Amino acid sequence: MSFLPSLESPQTIDVSLGPQHPSTHGVFRMNVTLDGETVTRLQPVFGYLHRNHEKIAEGNSWLAAMPYTDRLDYICPLTNNWAYALAVEKLAGIEVAERAEFIRVITAELTRLQNHVAFLGFVLGDMGAWGTALMYAFREREKILDLFESLTGARMMCNYMRFGGCRCDLPPGWLDTTRKLVDGFPKFLDEMEALLTGNEILLARLQGVAPMTADRAINGGMSGPVLRAAGVDYDIRKVDNYGIYNRFKFRVPRGTVGDCYDRFMIRVLEARESVGILKQAIAVIPEGPVVNPKAKQRGFRPPAGEAYGRIEGPKGELGFYLIADGSDKPYRFRIRPPSLINLTLLEELCVGTKIADVMVILGSIDIVLGEVDR
């Protein structure tokens, strides 16, 4: 942090928060103008983690872009894989194997669970409860990472989806372990809620902080839990019915005022819905091949054309816009990251609040810098 007397008025000071700051979720920077403790202006500074994802993908083969998608939103690699695979499948018109569709739903919902759990830990850390809540959250997250590891071979960088399916079949006993974890998960959520949601300090820090109206959220291009917390019924799993989501029964939780508390609670409720989807999917997953045998992976050359594939990622609408020119490389590889676009309203949300609330507001949007800067 650095303090400078502001040029605008002698009463205010400019504070540079980040890029090294314990609560900026990576290397995000905000230039904040303060009047006392009140924020009068906030300017986000991006690019400290710009890793040239799009340019690198345009120089590599179609399949070689898959492991890079893991590193976009590095907390939820499997949903990123799915979004890219979905875009390519749309581009080349590839059918997905039936069993693979179920595996995709199961892994994506597990990813959503572990993202929302990690979110609870991080946002509590932003409020000053550094450590304890995160320990609880990461204990639960580790169990899900174990499942990913036994399935894909990696804890975080899974590189699991392929065009037309998945890379390998479930290892023996994997579904049983997953069923046990899913059955025990509501207990963890109950415990977390018993400790947190009625907590007076948490309510004081979250309720009424930075409310967002539904109109504003839509105009700001919000998506995912942030949009739904503002009361908009928009879930791409329901709207697009991509994959096989139309076969599962689940509700879309919505907030009412769109304040930080709504954004916090919507994650807990969504995690509960994910548990329901997981239970349904595990019960009816069919046998069969996990990848469409007609789909080519190496030396894959889709016909010239363009496609936009999007999914409901744990953080919002994650889309890939691909242009193919008939060669073995993407001509254009564009990522629509939910984290970056959900930050559009950050200044509007933060102006007028206290400096201590800025961290909570940023935390409640739930960003990952790998995706913001790409």
Partner 1 sequence: MLDEDLRSDLQKRGIFVASFEDLYNWGRKSSLWPLQFGLACCAIEMIATAAARFDMARFGAEVFRPSPRQADLMIIAGTVTKKMAPLVVRLYNQMAEPKYVIAMGACAISGGPFKEGYNVLKGIDRYIPVDVAIPGCPPRPEALLEGLIKLQKKIEGQRLFGPNRARHADTRDAADYPVPSYGAHDLEPPMNPAVFKPEPSRREAE
Binding site for partner 1 (CB under 8 A): 19-22, 26-27, 47-52, 55-56, 59, 67-68, 71, 74-75, 134-136, 138-139, 141-142, 145, 155-157, 369-370
- Chain Cα centroid distance, residue 323: 24
Closer residue to partner 1 in complex, CB, 118/278: 118
Give min distance, CB of 125 to partner 1, in A. 10
7-46 burial code (b ≥16 CB/10 A, e <16): eeeeebebbbbbbebebbbbbbbbbbbbeeeebbbbebeb
For helices 355-365 and 260-284, the axis angle rounded to 10 degrees is 20
CB of 52 to partner 1, least distance (A): 3
Choice between 67 and 186, CB closer to partner 1: 67
* Least distance between partner 1 and beta carbon 121 (Å): 9
Distances (CA, A) of 297 to 62, 158, 177: 8, 17, 30
DSSP state of 156: S
What's the min distance (Å) between Cβ of 47 and partner 1? 5
Closer of 138 and 300 to partner 1 (Cβ): 138
Radius of gyration of the chain from its Cα atoms, rounded to whole angstroms = 21
Nearer to partner 1, 75 or 346 (CB): 75
Q: How far is it, in rounded angstroms, from Cα 186 to Cα 152?
A: 25
48 and 69 Cβ atoms separated by less than 8 Å: no
Q: Residue 19 or 289: which CB sits closer to partner 1?
A: 19
**Which residue lies nearer to partner 1 by CB, 106 or 144?**
144
d(CA 235, CA 263): 15
CA 336 to chain centre: 12
Question: 36 or 47: whose CB is closer to partner 1?
Answer: 47
For the chain, the distance separating the N- and C-terminal CA atoms, rounded to the nearest angstrom, is 24
Minimum gap (Å) between residue 67 Cβ and partner 1:
7
Q: How far is the CB of 74 from partner 1 (least distance, A)?
A: 4
Report, in Å, the least distance between residue 354 CB and partner 1. 20
Return d(Cα 358, Cα 284) in angstroms, integer: 45
